[in-house]
Structure 1
Amino acid sequence: MVCVHRDSGRYAGYLEIHHDTGEIGGILAPDHRGQGLGAELFLAGAEFAHTHAGLPTVRAGTATANLACRRALEHAGFTPAPGPTRHTLPDGRELDTVWYQHQATTSTCTKP
């Protein structure tokens, strides 16, 4: 899922939904951070996952120190959830992590 800034029409970030694990993750371009777009992107991803992919629960993890991401998840309606406390990045660095989940409140699309 791609995030485009409404006013400028410029690329602002992306979000991936992993149907097999129910996990989502993404990133905002640096010049679009601090504007509430992260919360909008996480909420849009969760709603898409619930209504179109049929996932009743969506999970997202972030670095414990990433307070901006944590606030965006919370503003999007995600609540704390159990999950791994450490994550190894592709470059070998390890991060302390926290996990969140979003529960479906709407029904899924009906398939013909």
Structure 2
Amino acid sequence: MDTHPLRLTAHGLVLREWTSDDLAVMQELFDDPDVAYRTPLGSPFGQAAALSYLHSAQRARQGNGRIHLAITTDGHQPLGEVLLNRTTGSIGYIVGAAHRGQKLAARALRTMTEYAHTNVALPWAILEIEPDNHPSIAVARSAGFHPSDSAPETVTDKGRTYELLTWEHRLTTGRG
């Protein structure tokens, strides 16, 4: 288990771990109807939810499970989040409503995918995306992900039943 703070710098971004100084901005980023609709995060997302989420992210990293990183351009101000499940290779991302349209999600996804392949030694990374989530599908395509042959997964969460399609990024053996 690595206990050093994780910081990834690539594609004009600095991805860093969340800290207690980020609680207010977490509330701002995650307390969004679109985020609540597309993710397991609840709404409203207040101070208690932010603190609980921070502690959950810290425990997951200590347990070598998930890595939750704030998306920044300067190493300080969070604009969203990208996370990696080290066991399944699943990556997720959220960009705050005020910061969308800057290709932050695509750049963060590329950075985390490279980390998954290079540092975690995963030969694949996956995304789970609803078929009607066109912005997320565009992000997946721009980061080199392709639809997999896997059957859609049916999920029921927060009283809503929907399908998730799996998108994958496989490590290529050739360079160049």
**TM-score (normalised: structure 1):** 0.82
- Which runs of no fewer than 5 residues in structure 1 stay unpaired? 108-112
Counting aligned pairs with the same residue, the percent is 28
1:41 maps to a residue whose letter is A
Deviation of 1:104 after TM superposition, in Å, equals 1.6
Q: How many residues align?
A: 105
Q: Distance in 1 between matches of 2:159 and 2:149?
A: 23
Pairing of 1:30-49 with structure 2 (within 5 A)? 30-49=97-116
User: Cα RMSD (Å) of the superposition?
Assistant: 2.1
Alignment partner for residue 99 of structure 1, among 158, 166, 169?
166
- Identify which of structures 1 and 2 has the higher relative contact order when contacts are C-alpha pairs closer than 8 Å and 6+ apart: 1
Q: Distance in 2 between matches of 1:43 and 1:36?
A: 11
Q: Distance in 1 between matches of 2:162 and 2:122?
A: 27
**Structure with greater proportional helix content:** 2
Q: Distance in 1 between matches of 2:149 and 2:159?
A: 23
* 1:54-104 CA distance string (max 9 Å, x none): 101001111111100000010000011133522222x13112222210112
Q: Secondary structure at the match of 2:172?
A: coil
- Which runs of no fewer than 5 residues in structure 2 stay unpaired? 1-68
**TM-score (normalised: structure 2):** 0.54
Partner of 1:5: 73
The runs of at least 4 consecutive aligned structure 1 residues that moved more than 3 Å come to none
Q: Secondary structure at the match of 2:163?
A: strand
